[in-house]
Amino acid sequence: MQSTFDLTITVNGTRYERSVEPRMLLSDFLRHELGLTGTHVGCEHGVCGACSVLMDGQPIRSCLTFAVQAHGHEITTVEGLGTRDNLHPIQQAFQEAHGLQCGFCTPGILTTVKAFLEQNPNPSEEEIREALSGNLCRCTGYQHIIEAVQLAAEKMRK
Amino acid sequence: MDRKLIGKRVVRNEDPRLLTGHAQFVDDVQLPGMLHAAFLRSEYAHARLLKVDVSKARQHKGVVAVFTAEDMGKDWQPGPPLVSPPPTVKDVVFHSRRQVPLAKDKVRHAGEAIAVVIAESRYIAEDAVEEIEVEYEPLPVVLDLEKALEPGSPLVHDDLDSNLAARLYQKKGDYEAARQQADVIVKRRIYIERGAAAAMENRGIVAHWDAQSEHLTIWDTTQAPIPIRNGTAARLGLSEHQVRVIAPYIGGGFGPKIMMFYPEEMVIPWAAMKLNRPVKWIEDRRENFYATTQERGQIHDVEMALTRDGRVLGLKDDFLHDTGAYDPYGLTIPLNTQSHNMGGYDIRNYSSEFKVVFTNRIIATPVRGAGRPHGIFVIERMMDAAARELGMDPVELRKRNLIPPDAFPYEHQIIDQAFAPLILDSGNYKAVVDKALEMIGYEKFIKEEQPRLRREGKYVGIGVVPFIETTGVGPYEGARVTVEASGKVNVATGIGTQGQGHFTSFAQVVAEQLGVKVSDVRIVTGDTSEFHWGTGTFASRGAVVAGNAVYAAAKSVRQKVLKLASKVLEAPEEELELGDGMVRVADIPQKAISLGELAVLANPLRGAVEAGTEPGLESTSYYGPQYGATAFGTHAMILEVDPETMMIKIRRYVVAEDCGTVLNPLILEGQIHGGVSMGLGNAYYEKLHMDENGQLLNASFADYLLVSSTEMPHIEVAHLETPSPLNELGAKGVGEAGAIPVPALFAQALENAFQERKLEILEMPLSPNRLFELLKDRQAVE
Amino acid sequence: MKPAPFEYHAPTTVEEALSLLAEHGYDAKVLAGGQSLIPMMNFRLVQPAMLVDLNNIPDLAYIRPDENGGLRIGAMTRHRQVETSPLAAERAPLVHAAMSKIAYPQVRTRGTFGGSVSHADPSAELPALSLALDGKFRLRRQDGERWVPASEFFISLFTTVLEADELLVEASLPPMPPRSGWSLQEVARRPHDFALMGVAAVVTLNEKGLCEGARLVYISAGDRPTLAERAAEALKGQAPSPEVIREAAEIASAQEIDPSSDIHATAEFRRHLANVLTRRALEQAFQRAAENKQEG
């Protein structure tokens, strides 16, 4: 039995080559193999959304994907959005609207929102709530998150 | 106090790190040579452990060690008692039984830790856990609170002669006399269950023993790093100065992360020392349901005595409280229930006994609200039952009994979790209730909208629930404020942070005193090497207690700044102004010096210093309140129910909140929104389902339902400010306020929606199915 | 919650996949979207010795028009693709409408039509909708293929007729007849949870406006998607009045479903919901059919 697989993956524009066990989850690969600890793990059964990243631009749950399945694909994590000195408009909006408290669910929300706003640049409140239904937050009650998304949409439309 | 920054909606200092994925959480810690732990947990809720065979697991490739209780030898000890019963109450019965690092002889709840595997990866550790063979002798399971107290019940602790963990009785006035005088007696049995805190981040520990420097570093998702440091040092025979506990960014606390000396907290540091390699344990979500504490049920037998015109003469509330398999956390939760089951009402006669019961479940410790929601649920249900009995408007009945503004400080008299008779420091309760009524449009709804909706065949109800929240309890916290050579300010405090915005609200307090930018104030929390003394974040006390310590230290530094600047600028202190990081002489702008330069001057490398001065521009202050401040709020809601499917839609939700001085309204609102989402969970979504064998049937997010973005209503928040006289900031806590009244509010609104069917709700949580059953039962009665 | 070790294969053609299944049959589990399988593996509820990953076979993902006016959907078509397909909206509006009810956006990026159908969860939408539309599935093995109608495909809880060496490669969904209307009614604790109860209704009117035919399929009403044939029979030839609809709802909920009790709902409550939702589904479906009649 082949115990490890050679994997080539692009994450936030950088190409990586690694050998991994097929059972290694993409969430663990990103966090511990690549040291990109911005993506968080909340449940490992695909409900909380904290582990959400983009695969080829679309949101997926990295805890429900084996790293080997990302071979040849492009992954975007929260680290690929902006930096502390140069926040992405979505990140700026979240800070201005207080769309985070403990910040644990936030990276998963940011990647989800990035893909969402690309598809729906002028969403209604209901559409935003729908789009976020797969991201659980225990701190905010979602209200400031919704406002942050609305503000982000406004910023990105300019 | 000049309010330039306090009370402003300042954006948070901590956000850029959190938003870019550069904030360190415990699982982000990577150390060379680090090993990973996985625990074998009991399959049974109650069983003797006949044999634990780890030999196969030890052989598993990649496994470095497997430890059982036996392997811990003399180092195996139960956790310390954390909170003793109040010495101020007479005749308390209390049997202290605490959790153990790894089970020996007997397991007392499903999920109790029996052995730990330490391996090269968590994947391998879990593989090896499956190879541990345990021989159990299952024992009958104790779950029902009433049956548990019956003679002949199986015992959770064999050395006791019953499952009674504690009994405590409090009274004030003379309830029996009140009962005699009453025109109406209302009597009910009320069931309230709560659930898991379910923070998005599970628990975790990384322990690193450096044998060369004889120093132990622990990263822990704890809300109480200093007590963890102290207790761990004691357990391991180390000096407190050899142990550093870091609570880095924490992904939500909500209570269970202040439970201390969890089995894992006792085992992992010990294992790290034994193996001389760093060890990491990260809890997974399933473990969180089995191994992290939660809050659970109470059964109340309540009686309220009233006059015909709606004056409550007295309340009697005897209840049972489920503590789970152990009771390290003392009587905090049921004491909070006792201090809240009269709400904010002026009730002079009271009698309440609670019995705490051991059961075969994980330990119950405070979850956001910590027994207050139970108390408020009880009093508010009784008010509604009484209103119906008297034929009175439920809001009117409440207003007739609210503590009036001139009665403060109000001697509530009941001893609460702070061990002293509760005193409600300040408040204007009626104003808050009126504000909520105005916001929800109460009169208009009852008189016009509701009847109209009814004619359209819609079932829409309204609820209005006032509540108190005791907050800001002692004993104390401390803070150290330091102006650095860069001109930036460093603040250290012993409490941790789990998202409440301490990095910003405390910075606002300091920035205002020292005239610097909020973003130039760096707050360090949760690192025991930075600040040595303190307790932790719980009971909505962070802003009040640590905030006031920060305030006091900042003021002290301000005095030092003025004193030194006065000498350097050769101007009297009264003529000096602080702003933009500078100290200036008013009207002579050229006579100025930056704080940074001043800091350097305050710490000379040569020369003599004045006797009695301290180096630098630094101060450490401690604050311990005389007693806790009590906040007050009122939530109101308009709720529509589909009478066929029992699906709900919250049409409006308003909050009027008085927590004294508000440090940062943006942060405050966030706390309220978050609290309401947890309260909503406790009302209609979250329930821990256990079968008769003590097995959780919904130990996952697929089946334990948290409120998501599609369930939450938009919440309108209004602040009223009755400052607390107890501290200089005038602040009261608010962290738990959002969650406390929601179950009571839900019950009231549902009853109001179905008033023609005379629905009465005496239990929480509910669900569509349960509502269906209750309505069917009503129909059967009719 | 880490999965147990397994052998992994990622074929790039259907033939390669079938060859692997022929050889390893019972030891192998097919990995499609993984949104149902991987959680079970993370919980170690299942520990397959081998995974055959279909995600590198581009030939299996497509949405094509069928000459009969219906739709052909490749097994590895993602829910997201169906959700955003104008062709699907036009030719299988019932399926298209259901998409946004399936789990969450991130799950729909990966979840597949074939995966959902093969997993055969009676609480899922796609098995029930395939049955409501009287669809059929193409199953291939190394040495041949067969078509199985949805009405014969689901045997019991999480069990279909798929053999260990067989792969579902395509779903064929026929068009709804002219003068048809459809409705999907669900009750769930949160909008994206598995339904406590769901009803999919497809009804057809004749020129006189009487019911020519109906298909009522239930979600979470038994160990597999349940077709209520007697209720459908009771509607035939009738004018769709409230009484007729109520009668059909009675028959279906009282006699034709076998819901179970679990922590989220009792069988009794599910039956009650089935009654209510059947009524609502039929009302909406007949309404839509009447509107189509006017246009058609």
CB B86 within 8 A of CB B237: no
Confidence label for B429 from pLDDT (cuts 50, 70 and 90): very high
Shortest Cα–Cα distance, A108 to chain C (Å): 10
Does residue B285 belong to the interface with chain C, where contact is any CB pair within 8 Å? Answer: yes
Alpha-carbon gap, residue C269 to B59, rounded angstroms? 52
Q: Which positions in chain B touch A84 (Cβ < 8 Å)?
A: 16-17, 20, 22
Domains and CATH numbers, chain A: 5-77 (3.10.20.30), 89-157 (1.10.150.120)
Q: Which positions in chain A touch B676 (Cβ < 8 Å)?
A: 141
Chain B residue closest in CA terms to C266: B769
**DSSP string over C87-133:** HHHHH-HHHHHHHTTSS-HHHHHH-BHHHHHHHT-TTSHHHHHHHHT
Joined tokens for residue A51: 């582990």
Identify the contact set of chain A against chain C, taking CB-CB distances under 8 A. 1-2, 5, 21-23, 25, 28, 44-46, 49, 52, 55, 58-61, 63-66, 68-69, 71, 112, 116, 130-131, 133-134
C253 three-class SS: helix
What is the residue whose two structure tokens read 């097919």?
C30
**Nearest by CB: A44 against B19, B284, B670:** B284
CB A63 within 8 A of CB A25: yes
Does one domain contain both B695 and B725? yes
Task: Express as a percent the part of chain B with pLDDT over 70.
Answer: 100
Average pLDDT value for residue range B221-247: 96
Does one domain contain both B664 and B741? yes
Q: Is residue B702 part of a domain?
A: yes
**Domain parsing of chain C, residue ranges:** 7-53, 58-173, 180-295
Query: What contacts B607, CB < 8 A, 6 or more positions away?
Result: none
Give the number of residues written for chain B.
782
Share the mean pLDDT of chain B: 95
pLDDT at B1 over 50: no
Angle formed by the axes of helices B394-401 and B429-440, nearest 10°: 160
Does one domain contain both B539 and B480? yes
**Nearest by CB: B16 against A87, A129, A139:** A87
Count CB-CB contacts under 10 A for residue B731: 29
**Closest listed residue to residue A44, CA positions, set B310, B25, B699:** B699
Does one domain contain both B428 and B481? no
Q: Kindly report, residue by residue over B688-700, the tens digit of the pLDDT.
A: 999 999 999 999 9
C247 three-class SS: helix
pLDDT at B537 over 90: no
Does one domain contain both B458 and B498? no
Q: Which positions in chain A touch C107 (Cβ < 8 Å)?
A: 46, 61, 64, 134
Q: Which positions in chain C touch B687 (Cβ < 8 Å)?
A: 263
Q: Do C43 and A49 lie within an 8 Å CB cutoff?
A: no
CB B220 within 8 A of CB B205: yes
**Nearest by CB: A65 against C7, C34, C192:** C34
Does residue B705 belong to the interface with chain A, where contact is any CB pair within 8 Å? Answer: no
> Exposed (0-12), middle (13-18) or buried (19+): which is A28, by Cβ within 10 Å?
buried
Q: Is residue B51 part of a domain?
A: no
Total domains in chain B come to 2
Does one domain contain both B556 and B635? no
CB B401 within 8 A of CB B347: yes
CB B503 within 8 A of CB B516: no
> What is the residue type of B441?
G
Q: For residue B630, what are the CA distances in angstroms to B86, B378, B433, B474?
A: 20, 19, 16, 13
Average pLDDT value for residue range B1-20: 87
**Residues facing residue B66 across a β-bridge:** B117
CB B520 within 8 A of CB B482: no
CB C162 within 8 A of CB C155: no
Substitution target from C76, C104, C189, C194 for chain A, most A beta carbons within 10 A: C104
Query: What contacts B388, CB < 8 A, 6 or more positions away?
Result: none
**Nearest by CB: A98 against B28, B200, B670:** B670
Confidence label for B472 from pLDDT (cuts 50, 70 and 90): confident
**DSSP string over B156-191:** SSTTSSSSEEEEEEEEES-HHHHHHH-SEEEEEEEE
**Closest listed residue to residue A81, CA positions, set B476, B718, B21, B532:** B21
pLDDT at B782 over 80: no
Q: Is residue B136 part of a domain?
A: no
Residue C223: its pLDDT value, please?
97
Q: Is residue B2 part of a domain?
A: no
> What is the residue type of B686?
E
Angle formed by the axes of helices A89-96 and A106-119, nearest 10°: 120
Classify domain C58-173 by CATH architecture: 2-Layer Sandwich (3.30)
**Closest listed residue to residue C170, CA positions, set C137, C199, C145, C134:** C137
Tens place of pLDDT per residue across chain C (296 aa): 999 999 999 999 999 999 999 999 899 999 999 999 999 999 999 999 999 999 999 999 999 999 999 999 999 999 999 999 999 999 999 999 999 989 899 999 999 999 999 999 999 999 999 999 999 999 999 999 999 999 999 999 999 999 999 999 999 999 999 999 999 999 999 999 999 999 999 999 999 999 999 999 999 999 999 999 999 999 999 999 999 999 999 999 999 999 999 999 999 999 999 999 999 999 999 999 999 866 54
What is the residue whose two structure tokens read 């002219």?
C178
What is the residue whose two structure tokens read 């139970």?
B374
Residue B605: its pLDDT value, please?
85
* Dihedral of the alpha carbons of C148, C151, C157, C161, in degrees to the nearest 10: -20
Does one domain contain both B618 and B676? no
pLDDT at A80 over 70: yes
Element (H, E) at C167: strand C167-173
**Angle at B340 (CA atoms; ends B337, B343), nearest 5 degrees:** 150
Q: Kindly report, residue by residue over B628-681, the tens digit of the pLDDT.
A: 899 999 999 999 999 999 999 999 999 999 999 999 999 999 999 999 999 999
Residue B552: its pLDDT value, please?
96
C258 three-class SS: coil
Does one domain contain both B553 and B522? yes
Alpha-carbon gap, residue B562 to B566, rounded angstroms? 6
Average pLDDT value for residue range B438-449: 98
Does residue B697 belong to the interface with chain C, where contact is any CB pair within 8 Å? Answer: yes
Alpha-carbon gap, residue B773 to B549, rounded angstroms? 52
Q: Where do the DSSP E strands lie in B471-616? A: 477-483, 489-493, 521-525, 576-579, 582-585, 588-594
Q: Which positions in chain C touch A61 (Cβ < 8 Å)?
A: 35, 106-107, 110
CB B107 within 8 A of CB B158: no
Residue B541: its pLDDT value, please?
87
Domain range enclosing B692: 420-473+627-782
Alpha-carbon gap, residue B597 to C124, rounded angstroms? 69
Q: Left, alpha or beta for B255 (phi > 0: left; psi -120 to 50: alpha)?
A: left
Does one domain contain both B777 and B635? yes
According to CATH, the superfamily of the domain at C180-295 is CO dehydrogenase flavoprotein, C-terminal domain (3.30.390.50)
Half-sphere exposure of C269 (CA within 13 A, CB side): 25
Q: Kindly report, residue by residue over B374-424, the tens digit of the pLDDT.
A: 999 999 999 999 999 999 999 999 999 999 999 999 999 999 998 999 999
Q: Is residue B30 part of a domain?
A: no
Shortest Cα–Cα distance, B377 to chain C (Å): 24
Residue A1: its pLDDT value, please?
52
Q: Is residue B520 part of a domain?
A: yes
Final residue of a structural domain among B584, B603, B623: B623
Joined tokens for residue B757: 């069917």
**Nearest by CB: A64 against C35, C53, C80:** C35
Joined tokens for residue B707: 């409120």
Here the CATH number for the domain that contains residue B464 is 3.30.365.10
Q: Is residue B179 part of a domain?
A: no
Q: Kindly report, residue by residue over B64-77, the tens digit of the pLDDT.
A: 999 999 999 999 99
Q: How far is CA B607 from the centre of its chain?
A: 51
Q: What's the whole-model pTM score?
A: 0.96
**Nearest by CB: B705 against C189, C269, C277:** C189
Please state whether beta strands B35-41 and B215-220 pair in parallel, antiparallel, or not at all (unpaired): unpaired
Please state whether beta strands B421-424 and C167-173 pair in parallel, antiparallel, or not at all (unpaired): unpaired
**DSSP string over A17-74:** EEEE-TT-BHHHIIIIIS--TTS--S-SSSSS-TTEEEETTEEEEGGGSBGGGGTT-E
Q: Which positions in chain C touch A21 (Cβ < 8 Å)?
A: 5
**Angle at B441 (CA atoms; ends B439, B442), nearest 5 degrees:** 115
Shortest Cα–Cα distance, A116 to chain C (Å): 9
Residue C296: its pLDDT value, please?
44
pLDDT at B334 over 70: yes
Final residue of a structural domain among B623, B656, B686: B623
Alpha-carbon gap, residue B348 to B367, rounded angstroms? 29
Residue B590: its pLDDT value, please?
87
Q: In the sheet where A58-61 sits, what is the strand order?
A: A14-20, A5-11, A74-76, A52-55, A58-61
CB B284 within 8 A of CB A28: no
CATH topology of domain C7-53: 3.30.43
Q: Is residue B229 part of a domain?
A: no
What is the residue whose two structure tokens read 């109906």?
C214
How far is it between the farthest Cα atoms of chain C?
63
Does one domain contain both B649 and B775? yes
Q: Do A2 and C7 lie within an 8 Å CB cutoff?
A: yes
What is the residue whose two structure tokens read 């279906």?
C252
Does one domain contain both B709 and B610? no
Interface confidence, given as ipTM, is 0.98
**Nearest by CB: A132 against B15, B673, B709:** B709
Does one domain contain both B469 and B486? no
Query: What contacts B72, CB < 8 A, 6 or more positions away?
Result: B101, B102, B267, B270
CB C290 within 8 A of CB C205: yes
Final residue of a structural domain among B572, B593, B623: B623
CB C279 within 8 A of CB C249: yes
